[in-house]
Structure 1
Amino acid sequence: MSNKFIQETVSREILVAQRDASVIRQFCATEYEGDIKGKGTSVKVNILIPATLKDTSTSPVSREADGLDTNTVTISLEQDKNYKFEISHKDVAEGMPTGMFAETLTDIGQQIALEADKLVLSKYTEVLKENIIPKASVDKSNIYDYLIDLDVKMDELEIPQMGRIVVLPPRIAGLLAKDTIIRTAKEQDMPLGYVTKVGNLTIVKSNNVAIKEVSSVKDSFECLAFVAGKTFAHVNGFCEDKVVDSSVVTTGFKDIAMGQIISGAKLVMAKYAVLFEISYK
């Protein structure tokens, strides 16, 4: 029992640190039902269920009722991230100075947070074709106007205005920070990764925005804009099995996995995601 308790405690510490350090994951649906017991498990995610509106031109009495899409939203972890951390003996951890082991677990969680952001942003390839905006070049003189146009484009695509998130790489976010309009604006509440707000868009930055290469040369960034909490889902958890490798399960503490973290992501509402390609002048 004590071995299992120690393992769960360590895994939870890692997950908490990952949650606190992840920029993109905070804008995803992350509530799921059931347990994640091993790599390959699919889990049900609590996320927006689309409503289907019927033809409203007919009489309310005779027309069909509006309905909800009751399909289950699941995320498969089979091909996604799987991490395992081992410790040779509990005395190694217990012998560390006070707080040192906790800091190590926090650092592990922060590293996984970067991978979680990368996992979500890698779903850019699943965006609808009609929601892809052609490549444009930006600099500090036009980046603000470009984002205003992006906000208008999302209006035209009938994407909800509330909760719009735009993810920019640090290089482009830096250009925006130099804009005279942005430099005079002041925000009181600044969540993790927050840069500023433009129109209905909350701008955040991440170093994991996809980079497009042309002839092996970094050409542009493939950035995402989406609605927070409705567009992407991300889940992670830990495996309770004491696994050394894929085929061996131990009964003792020595050499067991201290953290068996599994992670998965899915683009659930593709119509709420916009892909735009920008290059740096």
Structure 2
Amino acid sequence: MPRIFVATEAIADGTLTRRDLTRSYAKIHRNVYARAGTQLSALDRAYAAWLWSGRRGTLVGHSAAALLGCKYIPADLPAELAHSRRGAPKGITIRSIRIRDDELRTVNEIQCTTAARTAYDIGRSVRGDLAVIRIDQLLNATRYPVADVTSIAMRYPGARGIRRLRAALDLADGGAESPQETRLRLLLVRSGFPRPVTQIPVRDQWGDVKRRIDLGWPDKMVGVEYDGEQHFKNPDDYAKDIMRLEFLANRGWTIVRVSSRQLRYERSAIVRRIARARGE
């Protein structure tokens, strides 16, 4: 059985019986089911909504972002569809929006908005730093540049939320590989530092890229690394991290490391440490 399926199709082809459906599966939407107890991701919810639409809806917004590979879309957000069908059930939001043909693409037979159009829609509907975080995630997952989103925005100069989008695009950077990296970059920019470069390649003596630094300033040879909870889960990770830092130091880099706790509670101290590293 697929993870999520149309019940009448599964019964018609003999994959399961109505009794199986009642005993072992849970309804997500009308005629759309998953095995009982399944924890649905944002991508699962997007797929379920598309099935509910009769496979005719277009995924937009956060649902399109999930389909395009974003890793950090919350699982409890409603699925978003552009579709003519009315009376959407709980858990599906229908968006009545104009979408041009070149703002659409197909992924695994599912139609959705392009990364640029998706970022445009998210940036208009989400407020504050969260808009920057979500746009960063999408651009990082798809490798689209901010300029492509700006081009979409220029098509709709009077659209609702366009100022909010432009403010987010001014701060967006697809180099951020996690929401915390975006939050760290925003802290540095708002603290008066020059805008840092993201995902800085560091080459060995033969010119091959061996490491990348989360963000920093190549002209100062100062890098900033966010160390999330995934670091140091076993001795091998710890040893690799030591070797990585030694390599960067040998190449002339000063690295300031920032933990999740420091980013939450010690922001002033982070700014002072980076200022010292930069010689300010």
The two structures share one fold, judged by TM-score above 0.5: no
Greater RCO (Cα-Cα under 8 Å, separation 6 or more): 1
> Shorter-chain TM-score category?
under 0.3
Q: Which has the higher helix share?
A: 2
